[in-house]
Chain A
Amino acid sequence: MLNDNLIVGATMAFGGLAPAIAIGFIVSKALEAIGRNPEAASKVQTVMILGVAFAEAIAIYSLVVALILKFV
């Protein structure tokens, strides 16, 4: 029942859950900030892209682990 492909799929599924929620929070707060102060939109956007990159990196770590499990 617990064959290898299931573990690989579960690694990616659980590893992508928290970063997706985190990115949703980051972008929603950034949108709120832009809505309040449209003049600072480009500054907020730069910091948002940075924050999204940090959060997405965690999902990429779990992707790399899944790839290593599958192909090595």
Chain B
Amino acid sequence: MASLNISISAEPIFHLGNFAFTSSMLVSLLTTIFLSLVAIRFYNTHKSKKPSGLNLFIQTIIESFYEFVQTITPHKASQFFPLIASIFFFIMFASWAGLLPGVETIGLRSSHGFVPLFRGGTADLNITMGTAIAAVFMIQVFGYKSLGVKYFKKFFNFSNPINLFVGFLELISEFAKIMSFSFRLFGNIFAGEVLLMVIAFLLPLFGPLPFIGLELFVGFIQALVFSTLTLVFISIATSHH
């Protein structure tokens, strides 16, 4: 009986000195290039009199997502929309990339065994933690932009000892947000990949079909949750107390 090839950390394809370039990083890079190409093409053709079907489709999605952002932050949606939409679309397409045929199956056979060349973009803790750090950093940036230095007084509140302790807990909770964001996304997507591999092992050819449908749904929901939580934290950080 052949053995399953599941590894919780993405396998490196090649090394640049000490830096291991993993299969997930390759897929994330390709996702970013794909989204950039679609965006550049949309920008170049969006002023024409007769928009193509793809342009209309992209406009519909962007507008409905903008209305969704407006329901959470009614007045400053235009400030926060680029970051939130980028996070949403990157995570969604990087998670869906793990469902394409060829991912985790096409690879190189090296001395360490079988090394897959592609792996779902968000199924690597490096990618999710990087996105989480970037999102929490942008929360602080938006807080500073709208409240000035007074934003940081939330963490270092010297008026009385209780407030000092509460401020310290708020600082800890910022780091807890990073861990929570990254592990929620990584756990969902990696567990989905393990599930697909096990089901394909047990019921080949048609067994994985409903589970691929489930994974499409999970990828969408996790992208929505990540971006919505970032937006909610930004709106809390920029609200005048």
Pair B232/A42 contact, Cβ less than 8 Å:
no
Chain A residues, CB < 8 A from B8: 67-68, 71-72
In the complex, A56 Cα to B187 Cα: how many Å? 10
Cβ 8 A contact of A64, one of B6, B7, B186: B186
| A27 close to chain B: CB less than 8 A | no
From known contacts A71-B6, A71-B7, A71-B8, infer whether A46 and B187 are also in contact, taking CB-CB under 8 Å.
no
Among B28-36, B49-57, B113-121, B221-229, the one that faces the other chain is: B221-229
Question: Which chain A residues numbered 40 to 72 have a C-beta less than 8 Å away from chain B?
Answer: 42-43, 46, 49-50, 53, 56-57, 60-61, 63-64, 67-68, 71-72
B44 lies within 8 A of chain A by Cβ? no
Question: Can you list, as one digit per residue, whether each of B1-14 has a CB less than 8 Å from chain A (1) or not (0)?
Answer: 00000111000000
A49 and B228 contacting across the interface, CB-CB below 8 Å: yes
**CA–CA, A57 and B7, complex, Å:** 22
From B188, B194, B221, B228, contact of A46 by CB (8 A): B228
Flag whether B180 is at the interface (Cβ < 8 A).
yes
Name the residue of chain A whose CB is nearest to the CB of B191. A63
Which A residues are within 8 Å of any B CB, using their own CB?
42-43, 46, 49-50, 53, 56-57, 60-61, 63-64, 67-68, 71-72
- The residue of chain B having its C-beta at the shortest distance from the C-beta of A64 within the complex is B187
B150 at the interface (CB under 8 A from A): no
A-B contact count (CB 8 A): 44
The reply to whether B225 and A60 contact each other, CB–CB distance below 8 Å, is no
Does B151 sit at the interface, judged by CB under 8 A?
Answer: no
Do B194 and A67 have beta carbons less than 8 Å apart?
Answer: yes
- Cα separation A67 to B188 with both chains bound (whole Å): 12
Q: How far is the CA of A53 from the CA of B225 in the complex (A)?
A: 7
Complex contact B183–A53 (CB within 8 A)? no
Q: Which residues of B contact A64 (CB under 8 A)?
A: 183, 186-187, 190
* Residues of A with C-beta under 8 A to B184: 53, 56-57, 60
Q: Which chain A residues border B221 with CB–CB below 8 Å?
A: 49
